[in-house]
Structure 1
Amino acid sequence: MATVLLAVLVAGGVGCALVVCLLWRFHRALDRTPPDVGAFAHSAATRTAGAAAARTSSARMTNLTSALPWAVPLGTSVADSCRTEDRNPFLGPASWAPINCVRSTVFYLAFDGDIRTHLRQLDAVLAEQEWVGSGSSLNTLTGMATWLSQAGGDPSPAASQQGSTEPPGSRPICLSTTYGPATQKRAVPHGGLGLRLQVAVAELPCTPSAETGDLQTDGRPEKSPVEGTVYLTWHPLSTDTVSRSAYTAHRYVAALSLVDGYAVQSTSTTAPPSPLTR
């Protein structure tokens, strides 16, 4: 009886494996070639929109960082890519998302001194330059820091170093919040047109979060391996490496990530990209 049951189970397993194999072969036999992202990325309209995005990103970052004379620049990373993705990666025909082009610029800074004073200064600069959060008081850096200090936390390993005026044992700073231009009425959807600015401030043992536009695997930047991705510009910096180096001389590290979705084209049309009106 046991031998018969075993034979039935083995036969069932083999049958299931054959079915899965046939389904997979059928799946791969379908036309799953991504749209020509390269042609869209290198078209005249996209190049024009990309050049405008580069100028906008550079000007906004210069205006922002020049208003922070107490911060030491550590470097800038840039990743500009056009991509699509298969929204049906398992069985059946591919469903390619609209091609979109995004420029991600990350400016890294380091600083010391009284953290709350500098957070207030950074909040004031963001407000003056009309970067707007979601409207919650916690979405200001000062508001988030206050909430974290009230919530408690592990002692800061750097609390008594480098002339900080913060009391020993305060929670390590590890903040991140996102803004959009005041003229931009809504948040940018995934793969859509528009700007967003992520501001992250951290101290040991944290690494500031950054939207680098590439993969940061084991501290090493890598281009996205996703089929249907074309990089137009790639000047990477490792967030981990920059932070570790900065922490040897400074207490705080900030990452300002400006993400500009500047061109979108539906895969079902040949319409030119629509650069964001700036």
Structure 2
Amino acid sequence: MANEEMTYHVPVMLKESVDGMDIQPDGIYVDVTFGGGGHSREILSRLGKKGALLSFDQDEDAERNIVNDKRFTFVRSNFRYLTNFLRYHNIEEVDAILADLGVSSHHFDDSERGFSFRFDGALDMRMNKRAGITAADVVNTYEEERLADIFYLYGELKNSRKLASVIVRERAKTKIRTIEEFLSIIKPLFGREREKKELAKVFQALRIEVNQEMEALKEMLISATEALKPGGRLVVITYHSLEDRMVKNLMKTGNVEGKQIQDFFGNLQTPFRLINNKVITPSEEEIERNPRSRSAKLRIAEKKKPIS
């Protein structure tokens, strides 16, 4: 099982993130991104007999990594439903919540999932294979303007309008079903020197749209704010600017938009206190071991305790 977990996903900033949760032996904790179970196993190793851990993942493949431990509960669901499942399990408040927002290397390496442009296969990209639209549905049915917006907002692609125009023109001739068919259409739009980076942005944009990642993240962060005990920790690892901005805004201002709300005296009203004012990044040694960690940023905040 250990080898299977490591090939599924190498946990990023494992020690730094779990240290940031400030684990207490009898506490109640949530890992909203179970994946290969690396972070969850580390949390369990620090819990006592009365401690508890709930771990979320909507991907059926993650169930292969479930931990056989009475203190552990696996929730097969999107983390946007955090509040619902805490209520279902009669949990009012938790001591810390961890979210590693990176896509598992397992997904990139599975040609059938359609997350990577390195393999041919169905243009899918769904984290939850049981429901929702696929990437093929997006590129074949979305209006040109909506496609352009997705590539610009979620992929930060400067040629988003040209990209959308070409896709719409080509899909009128024949439906785009596979990664190879899609690549044959969009590759000519990118120069060879930046081709891989630009293709990665295209695939990121589609993945975010297919899985409604920004909407789900917003709902989870708001739910996490409500679910944490006073003094509880929110620990989040981000990988691209869109999600990092949302997390940073929530931790600094209490809302994902970054709107600063002040009291009568001009003091910023926020439910959180930042634990690390400066973002934590992986060490050079970790980046060398796991290149996927290069873009990772770790942010930690503590829910403020009432002033007595």
The structure with the largest helix share of the pair is 2
Q: Which has the larger radius of gyration?
A: 1
> Do they superpose with TM above 0.5?
no
The structure with the largest strand share of the pair is 1
